[in-house]
């Protein structure tokens, strides 16, 4: 299995969730060992996909460098991770990745349109070698050694539509498209009203998020009965892309969010709980199937 990029550039224009202004997003191929690089075309600033460039995790995962930021990278990175893409230039002309429909399916469609190209260099993976856990009261996120890639998430909300949800996702590109990519972000009406009062969530609508009041959802319907926990997995996949490689291990969380996920990626490196290896078809045949 070789490193991957895309065959051709693709672009789309969408609305930024918080500012509510149009954003042009363009994906461009890069050569092997280039990594994932964001570029603010309006500022002339490149920002590598790296945990050390994370500047905010309150409402989304936000990268920043030299006064330029790029917010809400998690949905796009979730799709890029799911396709096993190692090298890519992500160009935006504003400080947010467009929210699209609130899920990752639009980015999946962009990547399918672009096509996947294998490069000459072998693909590298990050293998988790020991358990790492971060906590915030009863919330936690952990990653454990495993020969598979797995995401196990649990949430509890005192709300009649959400309640207690659990989902165990055995990762593969095909499973991601079928089970995770269409799950939308969600928020509560009272929170949206507050965010708008302070100049945030200006681009949020029923077209790009599940919105809940005290009794139910304001949208017509859900895409999955447990769409809420599936979206948390979508976010977690995007956040864990900050490890810099597709990882081999088992992620498990209760009520985690962008902040805990970010702390987890930092702790993996701080505790030296990993090894990086090059793909070997004779040893890792199952990995090739995961990304087929």
Residues involved in catalysis: 258
Is 75 within 8 Å of 156 (Cβ atoms)?
no
Q: How many CA atoms lie within 13 A of 290 on its CB side?
A: 23
Q: Pull the structure tokens for residue 42.
A: 């309006």
- Residue reference for tokens 């299995």: 1
Helix, strand or coil for residue 82? helix
Interatomic CA distance for residues 27 and 21, integer angstroms: 19
C-beta neighbour count of 113 within 10 angstroms: 13
Instruction: Taking the CA atoms of 242, 76, 247 and 187 in sequence, report the sign of the dihedral they define.
Output: positive
Interatomic CA distance for residues 107 and 85, integer angstroms: 13
The closest alpha carbon to 116, from 2, 242, 280, 240, belongs to: 2
The closest alpha carbon to 39, from 8, 63, 55, 59, belongs to: 63
* Residue 176 DSSP code: I
* Residue 217 DSSP code: B
Interatomic CA distance for residues 35 and 60, integer angstroms: 22
The closest alpha carbon to 245, from 282, 277, 281, belongs to: 277
């Amino acid at each position: 299995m070789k490193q991957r990029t895309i065959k051709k550039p693709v672009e789309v224009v969408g609305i930024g969730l918080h500012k509510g202004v149009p954003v042009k997003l363009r994906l461009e191929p890069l050569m092997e060992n280039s990594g994932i690089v964001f570029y603010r075309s309006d500022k002339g600033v490149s920002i590598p996909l790296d945990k050390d460039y994370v500047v905010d995790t309150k409402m989304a995962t936000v990268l920043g460098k030299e006064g330029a930021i790029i917010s809400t990278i998690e949905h796009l990175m979730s799709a890029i991770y799911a396709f096993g893409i190692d090298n890519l230039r992500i160009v935006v002309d504003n400080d947010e990745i467009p929210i699209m429909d609130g899920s990752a399916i639009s980015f999946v469609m962009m990547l399918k349109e672009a096509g996947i190209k294998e490069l000459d260099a072998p693909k590298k993976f990050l293998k988790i070698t020991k358990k790492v856990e971060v906590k915030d009261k009863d919330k936690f996120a952990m990653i454990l050694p495993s020969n598979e890639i797995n995401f196990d998430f649990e949430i509890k909300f005192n709300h009649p539509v959400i309640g207690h949800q659990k989902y165990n996702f055995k990762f593969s590109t095909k499973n991601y498209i079928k089970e995770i990519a269409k799950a939308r972000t969600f928020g509560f009406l009272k929170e949206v009203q507050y965010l708008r009062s302070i100049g945030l969530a200006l681009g949020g609508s029923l077209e790009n998020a599940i919105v809940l009041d005290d009794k139910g959802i304001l949208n017509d319907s859900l895409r999955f009965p447990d769409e809420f926990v599936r979206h948390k997995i979508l976010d977690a996949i995007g956040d864990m892309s900050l490890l810099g490689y597709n990882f081999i291990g088992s992620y498990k969380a209760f009520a985690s969010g962008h902040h805990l996920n970010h702390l987890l990626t930092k702790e993996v490196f701080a505790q030296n709980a990993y090894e990086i290896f090059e793909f070997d078809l004779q040893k890792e045949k199952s990995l090739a199937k995961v990304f087929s």
